[in-house]
């Protein structure tokens, strides 16, 4: 029930605002897989669920990558509060479900489909 991948999914849902104390924080959904490569969560339905809670609809996911330790999520768009293009990279630990690193860049961001790798 509480596999490492399920914990990572719960962490993503938490940051998407599934729980009241974090409701409204921005994040797109991402594929979550077992080490065997078996899809655990249907990405399309999870993405729709996350988009319902996404406060900045101009954000677009630009990259996801999965290894057996982390899920890396990179997305970019215009932050309406500061009116600057931004790119964010989030690393979610598949081992314990924690958000291990959050990078944010408010410099000039191109609309390239290539994301920065960490």
Q: Which of 57, 28, 38 is nearest to 115 (CA)?
A: 28
Residue identified by tokens 């959050």 is 102
In the predicted model, is pLDDT for residue 23 greater than 60? Answer: no
pLDDT tens-place string over residues 41-86: 455 555 555 455 444 444 444 455 555 555 565 556 666 667 777 6
Q: Where are the domains of the chain?
A: 4-105
Q: Which of 90, 33, 34, 32 is nearest to 61 (CA)?
A: 90
Q: Which of residues 96 and 78 earns the better pLDDT score? A: 78
Q: What is the mean pLDDT of the chain?
A: 50
- The pLDDT value given to residue 84: 72
Selected from 1.25.40, 1.10.760, 2.60.40, 3.10.450, the CATH number assigned to the domain covering 4-105 reads 3.10.450
pLDDT tens-place string over residues 47-57: 555 455 444 44
62: buried, middle or exposed (CB in 10 Å: 19+, 13-18, 0-12)? Answer: buried
**Residue 93 and residue 96: Cα distance in Å, rounded?**
6
């Amino acid at each position: 029930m509480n596999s490492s991948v399920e914990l990572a999914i719960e962490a993503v849902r938490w940051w998407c605002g599934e729980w009241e104390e974090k409701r409204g924080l921005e994040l797109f959904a991402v594929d979550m897989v077992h080490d065997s490569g078996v899809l655990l969560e249907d990405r399309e339905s999870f993405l729709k669920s996350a988009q319902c809670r996404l406060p900045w609809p101009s954000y677009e996911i630009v990259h996801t990558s999965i290894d057996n330790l982390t899920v890396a999520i990179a997305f970019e768009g215009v932050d309406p509060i500061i009116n600057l293009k931004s790119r964010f990279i989030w690393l979610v630990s598949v081992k314990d479900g924690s958000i291990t690193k959050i990078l944010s860049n408010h410099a000039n961001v191109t609309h390239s489909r290539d994301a920065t790798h960490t």
